Amino acid sequence: MPELPEVESLRLYLMSQDLIGRTVVDVSADWPGIENTSDGLGGLSQLRGRRITGLSRTGKNLLARLDHGVLWLHMGMTGRLAVMYPSDEPLRFARVTFFLDDERRVELDDPRRWAGVRFEESEAGLLSNVGPDALSVELTSDEFVRRVKTKRSPIKAVLMDQSVLAGVGNIYADEALHRAGIHPARRADRISEKRLTDLHTAVRTSLLQALCYIVDHPDERGRPYIVDAYDDRMRLQRKKDAICPDCGTPLQTRKIGGRTSYFCRQCQT
Ligand SMILES: [Zn+2]
């Protein structure tokens, strides 16, 4: 699932494609029930004639700022964005296509259809339930500890709670907890502030290392690819018979916060 590093790599890719200043001339969209919306496009017809003025990201949320309004994009489980040229065949699972004034188009490809896209007149309130970005300067170590230490949920669930901090999902929560030596099921309010400070560093390190890996490994078109179950950006192999990279003990799995956690019962306490 695209988490902070994957979504930031998408933003960097889109920035590299000189989309700022381009105008959206048309939109097509295809998802269940869209024909029943007022414009038959889920409100996206309002994008016509709008010029792209910026691309920002908070957690897993991408915002394309326009000369009027803002486009919110969320990649869900399997979404990705690709800039396409007139000679390119449409992507197989293209759900939304934004046609630009230079004949290129941006396609949102999403096999599982859980990606989100919405036009809003204003940015106000759009991300009101989203906490500070996990890599933002506002999320200092002290602020991280303050936001986490009163929670009575398992620390893994707290890390994945987008209202506490934004951008960490199932995979990078496991990576950070292994790096910090903290058991994913440990209650957040029972972890010392020293260990939470270490965890904040581990979160940042896990996200930044993954981002560097993704940026260094684009596909043949220069596009970032979306995470598979396991690759070299991760310490923990998410598969049967995987072992701890530090001590060699077989990794354990357990459902925490509705998601499968991989962890080492020797190294994580
Ligand atoms: Zn271990």
Going from the Cα of 151 to the center of ligand 1, the distance in angstroms, rounded, reads: 26
Q: What is the pLDDT of residue 134?
A: 98
Size of the chain, expressed as the number of residues it contains: 269
Q: What is the pLDDT of residue 113?
A: 86
Q: Is residue 148 part of a domain?
A: yes
Q: What is the pLDDT of residue 231?
A: 77
CATH of the domain at 61: 3.20.190.10
- Same domain, yes or no: 55 and 96: yes
Please report which confidence band the pLDDT of residue 220 belongs to, taking 50, 70 and 90 as the band edges: confident
Retrieve residue 153's tokens.
């949920």
Going from the Cα of 244 to the center of ligand 1, the distance in angstroms, rounded, reads: 5
Going from the Cα of 264 to the center of ligand 1, the distance in angstroms, rounded, reads: 5
Going from the Cα of 242 to the center of ligand 1, the distance in angstroms, rounded, reads: 11
90 is catalytic: no
Please report which confidence band the pLDDT of residue 33 belongs to, taking 50, 70 and 90 as the band edges: confident
- Same domain, yes or no: 116 and 145: no
Q: Are 78 and 112 in contact (CB under 8 A)?
A: yes
Across the range 19-29, mean pLDDT stands at: 97
pLDDT at 50 over 70: yes
Please report which confidence band the pLDDT of residue 247 belongs to, taking 50, 70 and 90 as the band edges: very high
Catalytic residue among 11, 50, 60, 105: 60
Catalytic residue among 3, 8, 107, 175: 3
2 is catalytic: yes
Q: What is the pLDDT of residue 32?
A: 81
Please report which confidence band the pLDDT of residue 227 belongs to, taking 50, 70 and 90 as the band edges: low
Catalytic residue among 2, 5, 132, 184: 2
Across the range 121-147, mean pLDDT stands at: 96
Q: What is the pLDDT of residue 228?
A: 60
Average confidence score pLDDT of the chain: 94
Retrieve residue 187's tokens.
């209650």
Please report which confidence band the pLDDT of residue 229 belongs to, taking 50, 70 and 90 as the band edges: low
Q: What is the pLDDT of residue 96?
A: 96
Going from the Cα of 212 to the center of ligand 1, the distance in angstroms, rounded, reads: 25
Please report which confidence band the pLDDT of residue 53 belongs to, taking 50, 70 and 90 as the band edges: very high
Q: Cα separation of 204 and 128, whole Å?
A: 23
- Same domain, yes or no: 50 and 158: no
For residue 30, the one-letter residue type is D
Going from the Cα of 183 to the center of ligand 1, the distance in angstroms, rounded, reads: 11
Catalytic residue among 151, 204, 259, 265: 259
For residue 184, the one-letter residue type is P
pTM reported for the whole predicted model: 0.95
- Same domain, yes or no: 111 and 79: yes
- Print the SS3 string covering 51-78: EEEEEEEECCEEEEEECCCEEEEECCCC
Hey, how many other C-beta atoms are within 10 angstroms of the C-beta on 93? 17
Q: Is residue 136 part of a domain?
A: no
Q: Is residue 44 part of a domain?
A: yes
Going from the Cα of 240 to the center of ligand 1, the distance in angstroms, rounded, reads: 16
Count of domains observed in the chain = 2
Percentage of residues in the chain having pLDDT higher than 70: 98
- Same domain, yes or no: 88 and 186: no
- Cα distances from 80 to residues 5, 98, 187, 189, 266, in angstroms, run 13, 14, 34, 36, 37
Across the range 128-156, mean pLDDT stands at: 97
259: containing domain = 141-203+242-263
Q: What is the pLDDT of residue 108?
A: 96
Please report which confidence band the pLDDT of residue 200 belongs to, taking 50, 70 and 90 as the band edges: very high
Going from the Cα of 174 to the center of ligand 1, the distance in angstroms, rounded, reads: 13
pLDDT at 57 over 90: yes
Q: What is the pLDDT of residue 244?
A: 98
- Same domain, yes or no: 78 and 164: no
- Same domain, yes or no: 20 and 82: yes
